[in-house]
């Protein structure tokens, strides 16, 4: 049985009186007597696809770990170090962000890492 949180969006759509009617696939008409069957089937297929996607993602990450590959966006340390140096000289976060194109969150993260490195070293 589905939890109320999962059924909520469908209940809202039902409450608005929305039906799905396909022009090309007449068998996908949710305004008819097989509405509940079609919706249950579509939900089941979507859930199976989601599970397969999760499995493939986990398998890919495990394979990458086994090959000692590191994922994610490559870090541009020289650029960030230059940006942090300008910040230390008194430039505003917005000026540095515009000049180097680094998100403010990246600058804050590296700034906190540098502070921790200076205080421990």
Give residue-wise pLDDT tens across range 11-40. Answer: 777 778 888 777 888 777 778 787 888 888
Phi-psi region of 32 (alpha: psi -120 to 50; beta: other; left: phi over 0): beta
Q: How far apart are CA 35 and CA 44, in angstroms?
A: 14
- What pLDDT is recorded for position 1? 47
What pTM was computed for the model?
0.47
- What pLDDT is recorded for position 6? 54
Name the DSSP letter for residue 17. T
Check whether 46 has a pLDDT greater than 80: yes
Handedness of CA 44, 49, 50, 55 (dihedral sign): positive
Q: How far apart are CA 59 and CA 43, in angstroms?
A: 24
**Average pLDDT for 44-53:** 94
Average confidence score pLDDT of the chain: 79
């Amino acid at each position: 049985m589905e939890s109320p949180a999962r059924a909520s969006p469908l209940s809202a759509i039902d409450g608005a009186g929305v039906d799905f009617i396909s022009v090309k696939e007449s068998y996908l008409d949710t305004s008819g007597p097989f509405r509940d069957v079609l919706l249950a089937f579509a939900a089941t297929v979507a859930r199976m696809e989601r599970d397969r996607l999760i499995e493939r993602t986990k398998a890919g990450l495990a394979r990458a770990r086994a090959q000692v590959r590191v994922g994610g966006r490559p870090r541009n340390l020289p650029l960030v170090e230059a940006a942090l140096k300008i910040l230390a000289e008194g430039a505003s976060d917005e000026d540095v962000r515009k000049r180097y194109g680094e998100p403010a969150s990246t600058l804050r993260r590296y700034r906190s890492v540098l502070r921790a490195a200076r205080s421990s070293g």
